[in-house]
Amino acid sequence: MKRSLLGAAVAAMTVVPTAAIAADSAEMTEVRRLIEQMKNEYEQKIDALEQRLEAAEQKAETTADKAKQPSTASQAALSRSGQGAVTSASAFNPQISVILDGNYYHDDVDGEGTELLGEADGISHAHGAEHDHEEHGHSHGGAEQGFNFRSAELAFSASVDSYFDATALLAIESGGDVELEEAWLQTRSLPNGFKVKVGKFLSDIGYMNNQHPHYWDFTDQNLAYLNLLGDHGLGDTGVQVTWLPDWDHYTLFGVEVFQGEQEKLGALAEIDEHLEEELDEAGFSVDDLALDDEEDGPRLYTAFLKYAPDLGYDHALQLGVWGGWADQHQEIHGDAEDGDVHSLQGDAMMWGIDAVYKYSAGGAYGHGDIKLQGEYLSSRKDLNVEFHQANPAAIGAERKFTEDGLYIQGLYGFAPRWQVGLRYDVVGLTNKLESSGSELRDWDDSNRWTAALTWTPTEFSQMRLQYAKADITIDDESEDFGYIYLQYLVSMGSHGAHKF
C-alpha cells in the first residue's frame, strides 16, 4: 500500500505542462533527476520503517520469531545499502530463483593458478581430503584459462506452514552435473527464542561459511577457508539448535551435530585404485594401513556465539567465536612408489573468531557505504601413526598437526552502484608438525593480495573485475603469480534476503 501511494505521488509530480517541457528541456532533466533522488530517499526510509515495524510485530507475537538480523538499528543500516549480494525477493511461496555465475579467467602460470591456491604447504593434504573433495562435486574456485561457467544455482524456499520453513539449493555445472548443496527444514514458532534446523546445510560457524559464492564480495574463496575448511566450507547432514534470548543486544547461541562427512575436519581416508595398486606392488595390502572402519555418526560437533551491540541507525557490528570437534579423522600421506606411505588416525578440532562492521552513509545505492570484515581460523589434529612404510618403528607414535590462517578485507561504495574492495589473506602463520613435544616439520606460509571493482546495475545483476597477486608455498618452493577474473552474476526469480 505504501509503495502504491509513493508511486502515485511520484507520478503526480511528473505531470507538467507539455509546453513547459518543450520550452526548457534542461530544466526538465534537472526536475527528473531531483524526482529520482527524492524517490530513492523515500524508498530507503520506507525500507527502514518497514523493517522496524516487522521487528516490532514479531516481538509482540513471540520472542522466537524476532528478526534474524542483529538489531533493528543494525538492520536499518544494512537495508539501506545498495551493495552486496545479487538477490531479489517477492511474496511468492515458494520463492524460486536461478543465479548464473560465470567468468573470464587468466593467470601467468599456464592456467594452474586456482589449483595452486588450494595446494599450499600445510597439514591438510592427504589421500582422504583429496577423495572427499572429489565427492563434494563442483568447485567454487577452480577455473581454466579463458571463459568459465561456474554454476547455475537453483533455489527453492518456502514457508511450509505456521510451524516450518524449508529451503533447497542445487548447483548445476556447465557439464550438466547436479549437486544438492543444501536441503533443510527449520522451525518457526518454538518458545523462548529457540529454533531447530534439520537436513543438509552449511554450518553457521564463522561469518563466511554459510555464504554461497554469489554472496561473496570477491570472486574466489579466501585462503584460510579454502585450505582449512575446503572450497565448500563446513557443510553436512545433521541438526542445529539456536537460542536467541530476549536481551537488549542481539546474542545468538548455537550448537550443531553433523554426520561427519567432511573434506577437511573429520575426513575419512578412502583408498583409490591407484594407491591400492602401489601398495600391492610394494608388497603391502590395504589391511596393512590398519585404519578403523567408519564409526557410526554423528562424528562432528560445533558450537558458536554471535553478538551484535546496537551502534545506532547507521552502524552495525557483529562479533563471533566458534569451535568444531571431530572424534574420527583419518589421513594417508606419502607415495608407495617412493617407499614413504604412512597412515594416521585420531581426532581433530578447529576454532575461529570473526568480526564484521558495516556503515551506511545514506547515499543512493550504497554510495559512501563501508564494510570491514576479518576472520581467524586455527586447526589442530591429534593423530597416531598406524602404518609407516619407511619406518615401522614410528608405528604408535603421536603426531600433532597445527595450522592457522586469516583474512582481512574492506569495501567502499565510491559511487552509486559502484564498489571497490581490497583483501589480504594468509594461511600457515603457524604451520607445523610435532611429535612428543619435538618439532618435526615447519612449513612456510602462503599469502595473497586481491583488489576488486564491482558494479551492481540492479539487484538482479552484478559485474566484477578482480586482480590478485599470490605467493603460494608448494613443496617448500615459492610460487609467485598473478591472475585476473572478470565475473558476471545474474539472478532470475525471487531470492530471499541474506543474513547480516
- Residue 190 has a pLDDT of 95
Is residue 31 in a domain?
Answer: no
What's the whole-number mean pLDDT along residues 36-44?
59
140: confidence class by pLDDT, cuts 50, 70, 90: low
Has residue 8 got a pLDDT over 50?
no
| Domain membership flag for residue 432 | yes
Give the span between the Cα atoms of 287 and 344, in whole angstroms. Answer: 13
Average pLDDT over residues 236-251: 97
Q: How distant, in Å, are the alpha carbons of 104, 146, 273, 318, 451 from that of 107? A: 11, 10, 33, 36, 15
Q: What pLDDT digit, counting tens, does each position of 358-394 carry?
A: 999 999 999 999 999 999 999 999 999 999 988 898 8
What does 153-193 look like in DSSP terms, one character per residue? EEEEEEE-SSSEEEEEEEEE-TTS-EEEEEEEEEES--GGG
Whether residue 444 is contained in a domain is answered as: yes
pLDDT (mean) for 110-138: 68
Task: Extract the runs of DSSP E, i.e. beta strands, from 360-476.
Answer: 370-388, 398-415, 418-435, 438-442, 446-458, 461-474
Residue 85 included in any domain: yes
Residue 471 in this model has a pLDDT that exceeds 90: yes
Q: C-alpha angle with apex 195: 193 to 201, nearest 5 degrees?
A: 145
Cell, residue 452: 576488486
Q: Between the CA of residue 441 and those of 122, 394, 399, what are the distances in Å? A: 10, 15, 11
Residues with Cβ < 8 Å from 91, sequence gap 6 or more?
none
- The region, left, alpha or beta by phi > 0 then psi within -120 to 50, assigned to residue 58 is alpha
Q: Percentage of the chain surpassing pLDDT 70?
A: 77
pTM reported for the whole predicted model: 0.80
Which residue would you say has higher pLDDT here, 309 or 35? 309
Cell numbers representing residue 352 in the block: 575461529
pLDDT value of position 325: 97
Query: What is the domain range of residue 311?
Result: 62-493
- pLDDT, tens digit, 9 for 90 and up, residues 306-346: 999 999 999 999 999 999 999 999 999 888 777 888 899 99
257 within domain boundaries: yes
pLDDT of residue 200: 97
Residue 262 scores a pLDDT above 90 = no
CA 32 from centroid of its chain's CA atoms: 40
Q: Which three cell numbers mark 175? A: 557439464
One-letter identity of residue 438: S
Whether the bond between 94 and the residue before it is cis, its omega within 30 degrees of 0, is yes
CA 270 → CA 96, 137, 286, 399, 426, distances in Å?
37, 16, 10, 20, 29
Closest by alpha carbon to 405, among 434, 449, 375, 432? 375
Q: How many CB atoms lie within 10 A of CB 459?
A: 16
**How many other β-carbons are positioned within 10 Å of the β-carbon of residue 122?**
26
* pLDDT confidence of residue 57: 53
Given pLDDT bands bounded at 50, 70 and 90, which one contains residue 35?
low
Q: Tens of pLDDT along 196-210?
A: 999 999 999 999 999
Domains of the chain: total: 1
d(CA 491, CA 95): 13
pLDDT of residue 21: 44
Closest alpha carbon to 188 in 166, 167, 168, 164 = 164
- CA terminus-to-terminus distance, the chain: 27
pLDDT of residue 335: 81
Nearest of 341, 351, 345 to residue 382 by alpha carbon: 345
Q: How far, CA to CA in Å, does 67 sit from each of 46, 54, 94, 199, 313?
A: 17, 8, 20, 22, 16
- pLDDT over 90, % of the chain: 60
Residue 347 near residue 382 (C-beta atoms within 8 A): yes
Is residue 13 included in any domain, yes or no? no
Contact (CB, 8 A) for 329 and 372: no
- pLDDT on residue 337: 76
Write the CATH number for 438: 2.40.160.10
Over residues 220-238, mean pLDDT: 94
Query: Is there a domain that residue 317 lies in?
Result: yes
Q: List, for residues 76-103, the tens digit of each pLDDT value.
A: 444 444 455 555 444 557 889 999 999 9
> pLDDT tens digits, residue range 413-466?
999 999 999 999 999 999 999 998 899 899 999 999 999 999 999 999 999 999
Report the mean per-residue pLDDT for the chain: 84
- Count H helices and E strands in the chain, helices first: 8, 17
Does residue 5 form part of some domain?
A: no
| Helix 2-13 × helix 25-61 angle, to 10° | 170
Bridge partners (DSSP) listed for residue 158? 166
Q: Which of 135-144, 291-300, 314-323 has the lowest mean pLDDT?
A: 135-144
Counting Cβ atoms within 10 Å, is residue 496 exposed (0-12), middle (13-18) or buried (19+)?
Answer: middle
Average pLDDT over residues 18-23: 45
